Amino acid sequence: MRSFIISSALVGLATAAASPYAQCGGTNWSGDVVCESGYTCTVSNEYYSQCLPGTAASTTLATSTTKAAPSSTPTTGAAGKLKWLGINLSVAEFGTGEYPGVWGTHFYFPDDSAISTLLEQGYNIFRVAFSMERLVADKLTNTVAADYLKNLTATVDYITDNGAYAILDPEIITDVEGFGSFWTTVATAFKSNEKVIFDTNNEYHDMDQDLVLNLNQAAIDAIRGAGATSQYIFAEGNSWSGAHSWNTTNGNLAGLTDSADKLIYEMHQYLDSDNSGTSDVCVSTTIGAERVSGATAWLRENGKIGFLGEFAGGANSQCEAAVTGLLDHLEENSDVWEGALWWAAGPWWADYIYSFEPPSGTGYTYYNTLLKSYAP
């Protein structure tokens, strides 16, 4: 999912050499494997390699926003408008392996002008991906890198000063104690901004299920312990936080506790054959609603609230029908679903199949009219 998707980003091809940020390798890849001068073919995972500056990077993304969970959940669906609809902003986490990295070369920050355009279209929540390793160098218990935090804060403030919510979305870690320390640091920096949402971690995967539970709980406890008691927290699950497998994989996460009672479960869902979001081909016109229906039942049975932190589909009629069905399902079950975020916008996504970067991103030009019709 998101990690896969980031991998699948910027899929542009050149005839002699792959263009900057284009795919250059991966399972069953048959296109160019050499990048243009100044770019290196960098492995993101077994499915995807990408042309990045120098020996650069891959990425990670960000999380979603919020509303307080009700004290009790209805036993039947409740149709209505979603509370939040927005876009993932991905670029500050680019440059994996290059720490602290060079601003403008290995990483960047979202453009205020692009955010402004998206705000004008009616989107009211944005998930800001950032790099743990860049914010706290070497160890999670270290102090923050002041310049990186300053730029991250400026992006968050721009979003929230304009009335929208900003989700802070870091990358994966397995150190429970260090994770708590990291979240104490981050929550302390943002505890006065009530429109900030804390996404515990992007897409846990291939991990012991008890560890996923313990990491989430450590983050929740640290955030509340730092004095951030008015903001929502988004907890993600194992198996890339996939909605399609949530009810069979992440059942123990129903045991998470939050002293502020503002915990929301963030899931991700793509519509291609392997749920990875690396293809613009959707399985069917109905696959969107089908893949989240089990998660919907889990949320209702456990009295929980969910948020779809990543979704996307290719720019074609079959995917458009699937995306429409997905959003219709969320609205029809808005008693347990608070909202959703498209993956993804960002100034370095070039001709990526889902790019929502205005004004010319493939996803933005094809889907903006549809998506904004679901905005609150």
How do the residues of the chain divide into helix, strand and coil, expressed in percent and rounded to 5?
A: 35, 20, 50
Q: Is the dihedral of CA 212, 224, 243, 57 positive or negative?
A: negative
Annotated catalytic, 203?
yes
Rounded CA gap, 95 and 129, in Å?
Answer: 12
Closest to 283 (Cα-Cα) out of 314, 252, 327: 314
Annotated catalytic, 320?
no
Catalytic choice (203, 266, 338, 357): 203
Closest to 75 (Cα-Cα) out of 372, 354, 301: 301
Strand 84-89, strand 48-53: pairing: unpaired
As given in the structure block, the two tokens for residue 358 are 């205005």
Instruction: With residue 126 as reference, give the H or E element that holds it.
Output: strand 125-129
**Distance, C-alpha 224 to centroid of its chain:** 22
Rounded CA gap, 99 and 134, in Å?
Answer: 6
Closest to 193 (Cα-Cα) out of 142, 235, 148, 227: 227
Rounded CA gap, 297 and 336, in Å?
Answer: 9
Task: Return the ∠ at Cα 204 (arms to 233 and 56), rounded to 5°.
Answer: 105
Catalytic choice (133, 171, 236, 310): 310
Report which residue type is found at 186: V
Whether the Cβ atoms of residue 241 and residue 268 lie closer than 8 Å to each other? yes
What residues contact residue 286 under an 8 Å CB cut-off, 6+ apart?
Answer: 321, 322, 325
Give Dmax over CA atoms of the chain in angstroms: 60
Give me the active site residues, please: 203, 310
